[in-house]
Structure formats: structure tokens, C-alpha cells
């Protein structure tokens, strides 16, 4: 019975290895997150927002405009003498384009205050089967709506992949082109895919390495399991057969040969007795 236990264990291990063969396998990873630039600031609701027109200005009142209208100080917005605009607890209403300047003839400085978040990076690697379909989604959200472009091995995807196999659509946050669908997948689709996000001067990307496996790659582990099961059944069958009826085997062990002789002797003895 112990040998059966070992065989069952081996079959289990084999099945586990085999199961890894097919379907889409992705390994997740967490890498860096979005960062602001000097000109584009991400608004985080409830958090403070500080825009500084000129860090050298100490006592020059700057003129601040938001979306074309002059900003006046209030309970919500503070304008400091050092040319800073400060909002202690920002809200969605504060999204917009801010400009500041010291006088009419000087060039204005622009700050884009936006909402932008990437809810999830693309997986580090993505495995797909040839002839299957592949879908990658850039889980980005923003206000105003950010721009998304896809690159494959550094080149714009639409320029490389035949448009009959390629479809771009918006993600669940209504960002256009953020979902990429390739169907059917070909061996040549193997490569590095980048989702490039832009929002004014913020540029961010998330990337995944796509590996295309041929259809048989999924079949081999399955065939392996079948072969294993057949082999195990054969071994168990032979083992059980030997154990249950050793007397009818052409056995090579002395013990069984002895037993056989004994049986024959007994038979002869019986026959002799009957006589």
C-alpha cells in the first residue's frame, strides 16, 4: 500500500506542474507611482495645494488667475506675499489652469491642477497563447481625461500591428484608447508593451513583457499527465496482479517456486492416498 501512496503523490505533483502550462499567466508587480512636475500638479482631495509663482520673490504680490478669472483670497484660498497660492484642503472645484504674473508685461507662469491616478500597473509579464486573444488595460483615471498611447518595443503600436487584429477602446474610467485588444494573437506579437500616459507636462508609463506561447505548449503538459496516468495505472495493475495471484505467475523467486513444488507434492500425495 505504501507504494500506492507514493505513486498518488507523484501524480499529484505532476498535475500541479502540468497545470501551469496553459492560459494567460501574469505575474504582478508594484513599481513606482505617478509623480508631479513643476507645471502639472495632481490634486489630492482634502490635501493641501501650494503653488509658488517665483521662489525668489519675497514681497511682490503676484496676480493669480484661474481659468481666465482673477483669484481673490477667501477662507478657502490664501495668497501669500511671497507669491504663493495656498489651499489648505483642496477639492475637485480647485481643478483648473492657474496662471500667475507680477505685471502685465511679464510672461505668465502656468500651473495645471489635475486629477490623475494609475490604479494598477500592468503585470510585469503576460503570457498568451497563439491564436487566442490578448487584452491589456491601462487602469488610468484623470480629469481632464489623459491621453494614452501604446508602444510595442518602442514603436507606436498602431503603426506595427495590422488594424484588422487591433482594437483600442476606452477603459472603465472613460479614458479613450486605454484598453488594447489583439485578436488573434500571432507569434510576432511577442515583445515589450508600454502604456504611455500623458497629462500636460506629466508623462508616465507602465509596461509588460508579452510572451506568446504556441498552441502545443499548452497541450504538452496535458499529454504529459495522460502519459503519466497510463504509466501509473500499468504499474499498479502489474503490482496488484502479482500480489493477488502469485501462484499462477511464472515467478523467478525461489519462495514461489518452492510453494509451487509443495502444491504439486501435495497433489501427488493426494493422488497416491486415493489409490
Ligand X SMILES: *[C@@H]1O[C@H](CO)[C@@H](O)[C@H](O)[C@H]1NC(C)=O
User: Where does this chain bind ligand X (CB under 6 A)?
Assistant: 32, 52, 54-56, 67, 80, 82, 84, 96-97, 147, 151, 158, 162, 164, 168, 176-177, 194, 196, 205
Q: How far is the CB of 99 from ligand X (least distance, A)?
A: 10
Q: How far apart are the first and last CA of the chain?
A: 46
Give SS3 for 203. strand
Q: How far is the CB of 239 from ligand X (least distance, A)?
A: 57
Q: How far is the CB of 128 from ligand X (least distance, A)?
A: 19
Nearest CA-CA partner of 118 in 48, 27, 194, 210: 194
Nearest CA-CA partner of 137 in 120, 152, 161, 151: 120
Q: Dihedral sign, CA of 211, 214, 220, 222?
A: positive
The C-alpha atoms of residue 173 and residue 86 are separated, in whole angstroms, by 29
Extended beta strands in the chain, E state: 25-27, 40-42, 49-52, 63-66, 69-70, 77-79, 84-87, 96-101, 109-118, 125-129, 134-137, 140-143, 147-152, 155-156, 166-169, 179-182, 191-199, 202-213
Question: Whose Cβ is closer to ligand X: residue 24's or residue 160's?
Answer: 160
DSSP string, 234-259: HHHHHHHHHHH-GGGS----HHHHHH
Question: Whose Cβ is closer to ligand X: residue 129's or residue 178's?
Answer: 178
**Per-residue cell: 169:** 477602446
Question: Whose Cβ is closer to ligand X: residue 54's or residue 132's?
Answer: 54
**Per-residue cell: 133:** 486573444
Q: How far is the CB of 116 from ligand X (least distance, A)?
A: 14
Q: How far is the CB of 54 from ligand X (least distance, A)?
A: 5
Question: Whose Cβ is closer to ligand X: residue 125's or residue 147's?
Answer: 147
Q: How far is the CB of 24 from ligand X (least distance, A)?
A: 24
Question: Whose Cβ is closer to ligand X: residue 55's or residue 273's?
Answer: 55
Nearest CA-CA partner of 180 in 212, 133, 222, 143: 133
Question: Whose Cβ is closer to ligand X: residue 61's or residue 242's?
Answer: 61
Q: How far is the CB of 161 from ligand X (least distance, A)?
A: 8
The C-alpha atoms of residue 108 and residue 51 are separated, in whole angstroms, by 13
Q: How far is the CB of 194 from ligand X (least distance, A)?
A: 5
Question: Whose Cβ is closer to ligand X: residue 174's or residue 267's?
Answer: 174
Question: Whose Cβ is closer to ligand X: residue 141's or residue 205's?
Answer: 205
Amino acid at each position: 500500500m505504501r507504494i500506492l501512496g507514493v505513486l498518488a503523490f507523484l501524480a499529484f505533483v505532476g498535475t500541479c506542474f502540468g497545470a501551469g502550462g496553459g492560459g494567460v499567466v501574469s505575474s504582478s508587480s508594484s513599481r513606482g507611482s505617478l509623480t508631479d512636475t513643476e507645471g502639472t500638479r495632481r490634486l489630492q482631495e482634502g490635501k493641501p495645494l501650494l503653488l509658488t509663482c517665483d521662489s525668489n520673490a519675497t514681497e511682490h504680490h503676484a496676480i493669480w488667475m484661474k481659468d481666465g478669472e482673477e483669484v481673490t483670497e477667501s477662507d478657502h484660498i490664501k495668497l501669500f506675499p511671497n507669491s504663493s497660492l495656498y489651499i489648505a484642503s483642496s477639492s475637485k472645484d480647485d481643478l483648473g489652469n492657474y496662471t500667475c504674473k507680477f505685471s502685465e508685461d511679464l510672461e505668465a507662469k502656468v500651473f495645471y491642477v489635475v486629477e490623475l491616478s494609475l490604479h494598477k500597473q500592468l503585470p510585469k509579464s503576460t503570457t498568451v497563447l497563439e491564436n487566442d486573444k490578448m487584452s491589456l488595460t491601462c487602469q488610468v483615471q484623470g480629469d481632464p481625461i489623459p491621453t494614452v498611447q501604446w508602444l510595442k518595443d518602442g514603436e507606436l503600436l498602431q503603426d506595427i500591428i495590422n488594424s484588422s487584429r487591433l482594437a483600442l477602446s476606452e477603459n472603465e474610467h472613460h479614458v479613450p484608447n486605454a484598453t488594447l485588444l489583439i485578436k488573434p494573437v500571432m507569434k510576432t506579437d511577442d515583445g515589450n508593451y508600454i502604456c504611455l500616459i500623458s497629462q500636460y507636462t506629466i508623462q508616465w508609463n507602465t509596461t509588460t513583457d508579452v510572451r506568446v506561447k504556441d498552441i502545443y505548449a499548452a497541450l504538452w503538459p496535458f499529454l504529459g499527465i495522460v502519459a503519466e496516468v497510463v504509466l501509473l495505472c500499468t504499474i499498479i495493475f502489474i503490482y496488484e496482479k502479482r500480489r493477488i495471484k502469485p501462484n499462477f505467475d511464472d515467478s523467478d523467486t525461489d519462495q514461489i517456486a518452492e510453494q509451487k513444488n509443495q502444491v504439486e507434492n501435495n497433489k501427488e500425495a493426494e493422488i497416491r492416498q486415493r489409490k
